[in-house]
Amino acid sequence: MSDMPAHEVHAIAHQSLAIGGPAEVGFDKQSLPYVPGSTLRGALASVWIREHGKPTPGNPHREEFIELFERSVQFGPLLQEGTELVPLSAVFCKYPRTAECANWSIDAAVDPGAHLCPHCGHGTETGKGQLQGVRVQRTLRARLDVRGVPIDGHLFARHELERGLAYRGRLVGHHPWLAHERTIWLGGKTSTNGRTTIRIDPASVQVPAAPSRRPDGALVVRFTGPAVIVDDAGRPTLDPVDEIARVLGLDRSSVEDRGAWIRPDRVGGWHLASGLPKPAEIAIAQGSVVALHLQDEPDPARLRRLAVEGLGLRRTEGFGTVEVNPPPWRKAPPAAPVAPVRHPSVLDPLRERDLLDSEETLRWLLDRTRRVAVERVRNPRFSVEELFQERIPLLFDDAQTAAVWDLFTSDRPATAVPMLERELDLLTADREDPT
Ligand SMILES: [Zn+2]
């Protein structure tokens, strides 16, 4: 078995992303804070299916599909640029009282442990495997009927990953089909969410398998995504030590556990070729860490393979990505706010509030903006309220309502009409499906 090359994945989300996590009911829906490898793989597989049809037996391209999505490529998770995984081994002051408290942190997998904050003497908090610095927005989504009235039961708030942001990930393996930049839909293809362009660097990258950072030379393995690991009997296990010893070609008795920070998770998934759901499995959660003392020096090539190809089952789906001897986790200084890119346009306030993403909303806006523009010519002193039957605040959230109101009560509707027409053209052309 030869080493698989690793490639950087670059993605730009043009729309906000609603990435499915555990099924949720109710008014407030959450998105996962990142794009799992399985989601990326599914999105690329959908594009392939649009190009070549379903990969059923008899499809002449079926073998390519299986090669790409079930066999030779591992799709790692995509993280929003600027976000950081807080491993379970992270330790920091629970209630910082001073700047020293706020800045203090250790990584228990590398540094000597601390149960109390050395600056205030009070309790500590540990990492939960969460992602820090993720930019989300809460959006009120409504399905509108042709009259611009929300359809009953179709009004809901959703936390989505902000639009316009860059994502990075890693893909292991190679296939010519992946050489082209592509438009994909992450989290399902809808008119308002998910449109992303994705590019895979043709040049492979070196994945570091750094030397140990501990005084005792122990190996630290950090799980950067969930990992599905089974024991000899094929049962899921939360203890990865046997598997790590096996991958490194070491005798299990020569590997000593020097600490584990592990939390369980449940993962599902889809069998892409058949379109059937996979049963949920127990996994080692993202952010888990293990430290191992190795009696025998591992083969550097095997160590590198562990860093590149990861651990456990279902790695083609993006499970089991790890870092080998990563830099110890340190609490990041508070992030400076990022200034949004400005293109001055009448439609900017609408675009920023996701009002140009859905065909229904765009048609509604275009129709009402036309009415306001016409009315303004007829009677400059007319009142916008008289013009509409519906109450605008019921259709949109506060920020959206303010943006719509600003447009209607300004002198810009006449300018906005042709621009909205162009947006609608773009959106509908965008959504044309070749099938
Ligand atoms: Zn403190």
> What's 245's domain CATH number?
2.60.40.4350
Average pLDDT estimate for 247-260: 94
Same domain membership, residue 270 and residue 241: yes
Dist. CA 107 → ligand 1 center (Å): 16
Dist. CA 91 → ligand 1 center (Å): 11
Q: CA distances (Å), 207 to each of 117, 170, 393, 417, in order?
A: 34, 10, 51, 51
Dist. CA 336 → ligand 1 center (Å): 23
**Is 164 a domain residue?**
yes
Same domain membership, residue 102 and residue 40: no
Same domain membership, residue 426 and residue 375: yes
Same domain membership, residue 143 and residue 57: yes
**Is 261 a domain residue?**
yes
Boundary of a domain, candidates 163, 179, 204: 204
Dist. CA 121 → ligand 1 center (Å): 6
**Is 73 a domain residue?**
yes
Q: Which tens digit of pLDDT belongs to each residue from 7-35? A: 999 999 999 998 875 444 455 567 889 99
The DSSP bridge partners found for residue 35 are 78
How high does pLDDT run on average in the chain? 85
Same domain membership, residue 411 and residue 359: yes
Same domain membership, residue 303 and residue 255: yes
Distance between CA atoms of 279 and 263, rounded to whole angstroms?
A: 20
**Is 106 a domain residue?**
yes
Same domain membership, residue 113 and residue 140: no
**Is 212 a domain residue?**
no
Dist. CA 89 → ligand 1 center (Å): 18
**Is 329 a domain residue?**
no
Dist. CA 8 → ligand 1 center (Å): 39
**Is 225 a domain residue?**
yes
Same domain membership, residue 11 and residue 160: yes
Q: Which tens digit of pLDDT belongs to each residue from 314-351? A: 998 889 999 999 999 998 776 555 554 444 678 888 98
What's the number of domains the chain is made of?
4
Can you give the residue range of the structural domain that contains 110?
Answer: 90-126
Q: CA distances (Å), 407 to each of 359, 366, 413, 414, in order?
A: 19, 11, 6, 10
Q: How many other CB atoms are found less than 10 A from the CB of residue 391?
A: 10
Dist. CA 94 → ligand 1 center (Å): 7
Q: Which tens digit of pLDDT belongs to each residue from 206-238? A: 887 788 999 999 999 999 999 999 998 989 999
Same domain membership, residue 150 and residue 45: yes
- CB 185 within 8 Å of CB 43: yes
Which residues are CB-contacts of 209 (< 8 A; sequence separation ≥ 6)? 300, 303, 304, 306, 307, 324, 325
Q: CA distances (Å), 29 to each of 137, 358, 373, 397, in order?
A: 11, 19, 37, 15
Dihedral, 24, 25, 29, 34 alpha carbons, nearest 10: 10
Q: Which residue has the higher pLDDT, 419 or 139?
A: 419
Dist. CA 337 → ligand 1 center (Å): 25
Boundary of a domain, candidates 170, 204, 238: 204
Grouping H, G, I as helix, E, B as strand and the rest as coil, residue 421 is helix
- CB 49 within 8 Å of CB 68: no
372 pLDDT above the threshold of 60: yes
Q: CA distances (Å), 312 to each of 38, 241, 280, in order?
A: 15, 11, 16
- CB 167 within 8 Å of CB 39: no
Same domain membership, residue 49 and residue 112: no
Dist. CA 113 → ligand 1 center (Å): 15
Boundary of a domain, candidates 289, 324, 359: 324
The DSSP bridge partners found for residue 74 are 172
Same domain membership, residue 163 and residue 53: yes
**Is 336 a domain residue?**
no
Same domain membership, residue 184 and residue 252: no
Dist. CA 288 → ligand 1 center (Å): 24
